[in-house]
Amino acid sequence: MNALDTMRALASQGEVLSFAPGDLIFRSGETGDCMFGVLEGTVELNWNDGLGHEQIQAGDVFGAGALVTPEHRRYGNARALTPCKVLVMNREKFLFAVQESPMFAIELLGAIDQRLRKLKDCTRMV
């Protein structure tokens, strides 16, 4: 099981959002109050005026900082690159998931670690 599987298990119907290519999911500087899991499609995250970027694929999660940092502001922009279905998890469900399934926190940390390692490898190649 991975972090997105746990999110799916706790989700209700209204927590799946659809985005067309080019749609903005969130903007840098906005207050963040949820995290996301990509069910279908590809999302691009970019920061530092586009100098840094990353593609998030189906099966990946992003935006978790909003749930663990008080008064969180989004660091970058998230935009759909392809038609996307995205699962939304608010803080209440996040805390429930961590309490009821501590492995969720480990799965989430593992997903973040993998993404950071990929970014580090990409910057070495430049």
**H-assigned helices in 12-101:** 65-68, 91-100
In 3D space, the residue among 43, 40, 72, 73 whose CA is nearest the CA of residue 59 turns out to be 40
**pLDDT > 70 fraction of the chain, expressed in percent and rounded:** 91
C-alpha to C-alpha distances, 42 to 17, 18, 33, 105, nearest whole angstrom = 14, 12, 21, 23
d(Cα 27, Cα 104) in Å, to the nearest integer? Answer: 26
Residue 72 pLDDT: 87
29 or 120, which is more confident? Answer: 29
**Residue 108 sits in a domain of what CATH number?**
2.60.120.10
d(Cα 24, Cα 37) in Å, to the nearest integer? Answer: 15
Strands 34-40 and 61-62: antiparallel
C-alpha to C-alpha distances, 86 to 18, 53, 103, nearest whole angstrom = 6, 19, 22
Q: What total number of domains does the chain contain? A: 1
- Mean pLDDT, the chain, whole residue set: 88
Query: Would you say residue 19 has pLDDT above 80?
Result: yes
Structure tokens at 2: 């991975």
Q: Which domain holds residue 86?
A: 3-125
| Contact yes or no for 11/37 (Cβ under 8 A) | no
**pLDDT > 90 fraction of the chain, expressed in percent and rounded:** 46
For 24-71, the pLDDT digits (tens) are: 999 999 999 999 999 999 999 998 877 788 999 999 999 998 888 888
Residue 123 pLDDT: 56
